């Protein structure tokens, strides 16, 4: 169970960055070279390679050297235990939205809990 928690944490960390989410969105359309992946992002190829390494580390992306280019593709195995993996293949943006919605729900719940705790500390009724 603990190993699965670590994997989930790595996936959420990987998806917490907007550039990596854009990369995942692009790769959901099909395989692409690292240099093509870098073009619309406005970052250097070196930065894209670093992002790819992190995404590969949690099994969200797989890349392979084909001649002089690095071909990248989505690898949804990294989402096992996070949510319905089958949905990722049919609805990749919906899957990312599902992850983000869950994270936002946690943040809102935590914020409300913190607000209530502050009220109690200040002596106000909750």
pLDDT of residue 52: 94
pLDDT of residue 118: 66
Asked if 119 and 126 count as a contact pair (C-beta separation under 8 A), the reply is yes
Q: What share of the chain is helix, strand, coil (3-state, %, to 5)?
A: 65, 10, 20
Name residues whose C-beta falls within 8 Å of residue 69's C-beta, 6 or more positions apart in sequence.
33, 34, 35
Who wins on pLDDT, 90 or 124?
A: 124
pLDDT tier for residue 29 given thresholds of 50, 70 and 90: confident
Asked if 29 and 40 count as a contact pair (C-beta separation under 8 A), the reply is no
Q: Which domain holds residue 57?
A: 2-121
pLDDT of residue 39: 92
The verdict on residue 75 lying in a domain is: yes
What's this model's pTM, rounded to 2 decimal places?
0.60
pLDDT of residue 60: 87
The verdict on residue 126 lying in a domain is: no
pLDDT of residue 47: 94
Q: What is the mean pLDDT of residues 27-55?
A: 92
Cα–Cα distances in Å, from 110 out to 50, 105, 114?
Answer: 32, 8, 6
pLDDT tier for residue 74 given thresholds of 50, 70 and 90: confident
Asked if 119 and 125 count as a contact pair (C-beta separation under 8 A), the reply is yes
pLDDT tier for residue 95 given thresholds of 50, 70 and 90: low
Count of domains in the chain? Answer: 1
Q: In the predicted model, what is the mean pLDDT of the chain?
A: 76
Domain of residue 66, CATH code = 1.10.10.10
Asked if 88 and 95 count as a contact pair (C-beta separation under 8 A), the reply is yes
pLDDT tier for residue 34 given thresholds of 50, 70 and 90: very high
How many C-beta neighbours within 10 Å does residue 11 have? 21
Q: Which residues of 95-123 are buried (b: 16+ CB within 10 A; e: fewer)?
A: bbebbeeeeeeeeeeeeeeeeeeeeeeee
49 vs 55: CA distance, rounded Å: 10
């Amino acid at each position: 169970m603990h190993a699965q928690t670590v994997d989930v944490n790595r996936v959420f960390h990987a998806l917490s960055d907007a550039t990596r989410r854009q990369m995942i969105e692009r790769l959901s359309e099909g395989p692409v070279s690292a240099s093509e992946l870098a073009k619309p992002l406005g970052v250097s190829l070196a930065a894209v390679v670093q992002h790819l390494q992190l995404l590969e580390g949690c099994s969200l992306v797989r890349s392979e050297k084909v001649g002089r280019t690095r071909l990248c593709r989505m690898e949804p195995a990294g989402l096992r235990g996070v949510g319905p993996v089958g949905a990722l293949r049919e609805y990749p943006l919906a899957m990312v939205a599902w992850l983000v919605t869950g994270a936002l729900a946690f943040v809102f719940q935590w914020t409300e809990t913190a607000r209530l705790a502050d009220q109690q500390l200040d002596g106000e009724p909750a």
